[in-house]
Amino acid sequence: MKYLILVGSFIAISWSNGRQISKNAKSIIDLMNQSAKDWNEGNLDAFMALYDTASTFMLPNGPVGIAGMKENYQKGFFNGKMPKQNLRYEEMVVRPLGKDYALLTGKFVLYGNDLKEKTGRYSLIFVQRKNGWKILHDHSS
What's the Cα-to-Cα distance from 86 to each of 37, 117, 119, rounded to whole Å?
9, 10, 12
The C-alpha R_g of the chain, in whole angstroms, comes to 18
Please tell me the pTM assigned to this model: 0.83
Query: Using 50, 70 and 90 to split pLDDT, how confident is the model at 21?
Result: low
Domain annotation for the chain: domains and CATH numbers: 2-140 (3.10.450.50)
Whether 20 shows a pLDDT value over 70: the answer reads no
